[in-house]
Structures are given as structure tokens and as C-alpha cells.
A and B are shown apart, each in its own frame.
Chain A
């Protein structure tokens, strides 16, 4: 072997990094693969010893059962609750953020109070909220859950949108005001187009937070507005776990998130770090 045939040091390092990257990705995605794969297995394949790594064929009976029994209603409920609360939180939160960013309403203290609302652990407020909801008959109602998720997401929306709005050059707004537009028009025609990408990203994360919540839904739903994480835990039972159902329901509850977050890839860092790291 002549030295010229040896790959350069740079190429070897790159090759090593690819090996590492692929190994790492396989390691981290294996559980996801396992979950998806189980959802396509027949019961015989699921409860096979030793475990089978590939289903004999792709079949959808586990999903069919969820549709037949009406369990997919939980996914629909999640969509309604997470969707509506996101829209409301985005509208109210963005307006509030505009006021904080442009007029400095309430000063730094108000902004700090709002973000501190997000630091409160859900377990600390869920119990009093439950008592109040019982009193007003709002347990297991769409309105109750939507209101709760809206409140839960508002600090996040306000904090993120405040960051995006501050980035819009003040001069643009001022010249629009000079041109005779009123504030509402300035917000709608000048600010909104500028912050639209950030707004989209914030909406996606707001949706994901509401979609993934378990504790609030566990406490505040019974039968009518059961969301998918709560429905999922119903399949865990002592001796017999309905694995096919668990896997299929998990996949149904995970796919929308994967799609949404992949689309918003660019905003992931800023979104999940509360804007503390500008990605």
C-alpha cells in the first residue's frame, strides 16, 4: 500500500464522525422505531419470546380497534383543546406582548411576573384549580380545559412574542404612523407581517405544550373531553397491558408533533429555550 492511497487525516476524521453520528441516531431513534413497529404487529408477534424486531407484515388492526371502539375521540379532543387554546393564547398573548414591547406597560416588573408564572410547577396549582372547577362545574368540559391551557401558555407566548416584536425596527412603525395609519393598522399591516415566522413557530410550540400535557388533563377530565395522554394510561392495567393499543395510540399522538416540529426546525432552539438562546 502506498501512502498516497491512504485517505487524508481530514477524511478519516469525517468518516469517524459519520460513524458516530449514525450510531448515535440509531441509538436514540431505536425506541421510537420499536414503538411504531409494535403498532403494526399482530398480538402473536407482540407477545412473542424472544421479541421480534420486524413485523411479519404491516397491518393496521391495532389502529382499527381504536377506531372501532371510538377511542380515537381522545385524539380529536386533544386537537380541539390544544388547537383552540393555542389560537386564543396566540391572539391575546401577542397583543399583550405588543403593549409590553412598545409601550413598556407595567415596566420590567410586569414582564418578570408574567414569565415567573411559567416557573410555577403545575402540581402546585392543579389542586386549587380543581377545587374551583368543581365549584363552577367546569370539570370535564372543553371550556375548562381550553381556559386552563390558554392560561398555561400565555406567559410563553407573551415572552416569545415580546422578543420577536422588539426585533422589529421602531422606525418602520413610526413612519407608518406618520403616513396616517392608526395603531391597529400598524399592528396588523406593519408588525404582523414582520413577526409572522416567529408567530408561526410560537404557535407550534404552544400547540405542542398543550398537546403533550398529562397532569392537568388527568385531573380535569373524566369521560367527555379525555385527551390522548390520559386515554393512553387507561391501557396500562396490572397484568395485561394492551400493547397494541398503547403503541397505536402513542403513534397517533406522536405523528402530528413530529410533522409540526420538523416544519418548524429552524425555530426549535429559540422556541424551547424560551428565547434565551437565539438559534
Chain B
């Protein structure tokens, strides 16, 4: 620190002005590399793909003539696409409330101090940080009809052999995916809700208890309003993740049987990388972005209103 005046006197004038220039433009200089990378890898592909989505490019034909809105019109006729959107919606609509509910109950269990609480929380959070592809693989092993423990436990409980092809039988593929999903992400909700619940005003809770208010009333009047912002953020983060669900399904069912569990991400992947419908895939991608933008904006609007 003391050396800086000494350096200034020995530095040649030009070096000093160069340093000055550096410092004058510092805000922009230090922001530039990050923004450049984001533009290059984030924005540029989007713009490029917007252009491609108006063309005729497939694997066999590099036809860059403009197709107008043809690819987008195609979207509305594509029943497999809408089925995939439906599958995505089913998984999201079932898994998200389940994760929220289970996470809330878990948080309720741990909200009061107890010796060893930290250890329990640390252990319970582990599923959330596992790679989703590993989570899918793990449950594929768990669900195996012959060598997995799930069938064994169910057989034990039922008292007779239960043979369920979880990842193949149309009646059970959705439960299988949702079990895996809920197992991995309920702890995420748990962690966030635990933090939110411990921030609820204790004096209000005590006052309500003195007044003899029932638990349901306390929940409705004090707890839920207090944790609402966190719940909204948690649902937004998880909701966006669920809409783009890919890894778990890839590992568990690969979209099967047939295309029964094909979600929008899987369908986009198949169109792009095994059908090589380049232009059409780009159009699908923009449909997805548009949908997510609408959802995010709506949620954010509601959150603003709630505040």
C-alpha cells in the first residue's frame, strides 16, 4: 500500500496516462469479456436460429431460400409436438405441487430446533445435487422388474409377487418419472421452505398461540403470507426446470414406450439430431422460448402484485 506513491514517481508519463485510461474506462473494460461471451454463445445462436427458422434447411438440403412462416404454420399441424407439450404439462402439473407439498411437510418437521438437525438436512439434500442423469439411472436400477428392490418391497407388502414393468408399461411410466423427479427435487423445496419458515416472525406466532388460534388459521393468516415470495421463486425455478425436463426421461424411458413420455425437450432433440429437420427444429425452439417467456412474465407479474 505504501509503495504506490513511489511507483507513481518512477513511472514514465505515458505509462501513467495508459493507467489512467484503463481506470477511466474500468466499468466497461471489466464488463466487456463477460458480455462478449454471452453475446457470442447466448444471443448469436438465437438470432441465427431465428433466421434459420424461416428457411428450408434439412440434413439433405441446404436450401436457404425463405419459407416465410411455413415452419411455424407446420407447428400447428404437428400432433406429435402437441402431444409432447401435453406430456410436459402433465409432468409439470403433477410433480410441481407434489414437490411443494412434500417439501413443506419436510420443512415443518424440521422447523423447530432439535439436536442433529443440521446432519439430517445435509443428508436429505443429497438427491438434489446428484446429476439428473445419475438420478434417472439409479431409479432405472431401482425399478427393474427382476433385480430391483421396488418390486421386491411391493411384493412383500402385497403378500404376493408384484411384477410391474415400470419403465415400459404405459400405465406406470408416468408414475415412474414423477417418483424419480419428486425424489430428486422435493429436498430442493424443503431447503428453500425451511429457510423461509425460519424467517417467519416468531412474536406473531406466539401471539396467535396465546390467542388460541388453530393451526390452520395461523397457517393461513401468518405463515403462508410470510413465505409466499419464497414459494413463488421456488415454483418459478422448478417450473422452468420441469418444462425443459430431459435427462431423467432420457435415462428412465428414453421417451418410450413409443413416444408416450416424449417431452418437448426430447421431441426437439429428436427433430434436430435424428431427423435433422434443421429449420423446423429452430421453429420449435422459438415456440418453447415464447411459451417460457409468457409463463415467466406472468409469474413475475403476479409476484410483483403480491408484494
Contacts and interface: CB of A to CB of B under 8 A. Distances in A.
Contact of B234 (A14, A49, A241, A273): A273
B110 interface: yes
15 contacts: A24-B120, A32-B130, A35-B137, A50-B152, A121-B240, A121-B288, A122-B244, A123-B288, A125-B46, A127-B273, A148-B41, A151-B40, A180-B4, A229-B247, A233-B133
Given A31-B142, A50-B152, A151-B38, A232 B133 contact: yes
Contacts of B1: 179-181, 185, 189
Nearest to A114: B38
Given A21-B110, A99-B28, A215-B246, A32 B195 contact: no
Nearest to A120: B289
Interface string B122-139: 111111111111100111
A250 B132 contact: no
Nearest to A228: B131
Contacts of B243: 121
Interface residues of A, number: 97
A221 interface: no
B45 A269 contact: no
Contacts of A276: 230, 233, 237
A195 interface: no
A35 B129 CA distance: 15
A contact face: mostly helix, strand, loop, or mixed: helix
A75 interface: no
A136 to B, nearest CB: 11
Given A117-B42, A151-B38, A17 B109 contact: yes
A129 B45 contact: yes
A98 B110 CA distance: 37
A6 interface: no
A155 B35 CA distance: 10
Given A93-B34, A180-B4, A253 B244 contact: no
A212 B132 contact: yes
Nearest to B112: A17
A274 interface: yes
A214 interface: yes
B30 A96 contact: yes
Contacts of A103: 26-27
B4 A181 contact: yes
A123 B265 contact: yes
